[in-house]
């Protein structure tokens, strides 16, 4: 591959990564083509600094440095080996997105053990006993025959989450979609865990999509919010672009529903959601 071909692929990759990771992606040096991405998972944070060499991606890997002072030497060595394996699997292709997601999955595997004696309740076992909150439907965006649409609702408990999911699935068009990814964050208002945030996500077959949605909601500090993103697959693989559409659909649904940073607003948000409710 020519030098110009590498530069073109690098520019396309930078644009896609910037869209996917938002504020967690930053430019260290435009001249050196050095970029930094902050990877957060649970209580862990890793900084990945990458430099796109002239031969990347066609002839050489990007140079990279990991910053994780809390991680011991054995874990870092294992992570470096995993990243080397990822590059070998995708040699000659853009690699950075795969590196970031490998680091993210590595951090998930390091999550602290659950406290002994704590009760663990699976949200999937909770019935949808409450009325369904108002649901706002975002705009439909189409790219290469795939369509994406976000749906948002203000929720205060897991029962309401299940009510919203059931209501959406009652729509045959949504139920027949290839993927219905979702993420929610709820502030517990009573009991021993009062003030803590209950959160969960689902990829629904679109690997890493739910995690990206939940990560965006964490960055936005969303509370008492459920977002579902529906994707009708058009038969053409979109690569990393699909995450840009999923992220944009998530943000747009939250904004249209009037739920942006709802944890810091008063109850007028609920009325605003009703006013913005659109019909399928």
Residue 152: which CATH number?
A: 3.30.230.30
Q: Are residues 142 and 247 in the same domain?
A: yes
Give the mean pLDDT of 266-275. 40
Residue 61: which CATH number?
A: 3.10.110.10
Q: Are residues 91 and 137 in the same domain?
A: no
Residue 155, in any domain of the structure: yes
Share of the chain above pLDDT 70, in %: 84
Residue 184, in any domain of the structure: yes
Judged against a pLDDT cut of 50, whether residue 262 lies above it is answered with no
If one counts the domains in the chain, the total is 2
Q: Are residues 270 and 137 in the same domain?
A: yes
What pLDDT is stored for residue 205 in this prediction? 87
Low-confidence winner among 6-15, 51-60, 116-125 (lowest mean pLDDT): 116-125
Q: Are residues 194 and 154 in the same domain?
A: yes
Q: Are residues 154 and 230 in the same domain?
A: yes
Could you list the residue range(s) of the whole structural domain that residue 232 is in?
A: 127-276
Structure tokens at 240: 């990393």
Instruction: Give the CA distances from residue 217 to residues 36, 58, 201, 227, in Å, rounded to whole numbers and listed in that order.
Output: 21, 35, 11, 9
The predicted model scores a pTM of 0.50
Low-confidence winner among 108-117, 216-225, 249-258 (lowest mean pLDDT): 108-117
HEC secondary structure over 109-144 = HCCCCCCCCCCCCCHHHCCCCCCCCCCEEEEEEEEC
Query: What is the tens place of the pLDDT at every residue in 20-55?
Result: 888 889 998 889 999 999 998 877 889 999 999 888
Structure tokens at 159: 């029962």
| Preceding peptide of 57 cis, ω within 30° | yes
What pLDDT is stored for residue 146 in this prediction? 93
What pLDDT is stored for residue 60 in this prediction? 87
Q: Are residues 133 and 272 in the same domain?
A: yes
Give the mean pLDDT of 169-181. 90
Q: Are residues 137 and 254 in the same domain?
A: yes
Residue 74, in any domain of the structure: yes
């Amino acid at each position: 591959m020519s030098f110009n071909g590498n530069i073109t692929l690098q520019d396309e990759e930078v644009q896609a990564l910037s869209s996917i990771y938002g504020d967690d992606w930053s430019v260290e040096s435009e001249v050196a083509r050095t970029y930094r991405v902050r990877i957060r998972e649970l209580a862990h944070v890793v900084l990945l600094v990458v430099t796109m060499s002239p031969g990347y991606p066609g002839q050489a890997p990007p140079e990279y440095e990991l910053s994780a002072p809390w991680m011991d030497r054995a874990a870092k060595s294992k992570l470096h080996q995993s990243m080397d394996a990822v590059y070998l699997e995708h040699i000659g292709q853009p690699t950075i997105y795969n590196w970031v997601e490998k680091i993210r999955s590595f951090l998930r595997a390091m999550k602290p053990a659950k406290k002994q004696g704590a009760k663990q309740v699976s949200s999937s076992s909770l019935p949808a006993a409450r009325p369904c909150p108002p649901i706002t439907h975002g705009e439909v965006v189409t790219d290469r025959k795939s369509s994406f649409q976000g749906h948002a609702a203000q929720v205060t408990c897991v029962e309401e989450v299940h009510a919203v999911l059931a209501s959406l699935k009652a729509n045959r068009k949504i139920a027949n979609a290839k993927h219905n990814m979702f993420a929610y964050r709820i502030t517990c208002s009573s009991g021993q865990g009062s003030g803590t945030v209950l959160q969960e996500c689902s990829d629904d077959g679109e690997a890493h999509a739910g995690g990206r949605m939940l990560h965006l909601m964490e960055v936005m500090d969303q509370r008492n919010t459920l977002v579902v993103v529906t994707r009708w697959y058009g038969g053409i693989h979109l690569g990393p672009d699909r995450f840009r559409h999923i992220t944009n659909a998530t943000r747009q649904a939250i904004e249209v529903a009037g739920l942006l940073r709802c944890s810091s607003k008063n109850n007028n948000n609920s009325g605003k959601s009703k006013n913005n409710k659109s019909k399928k």
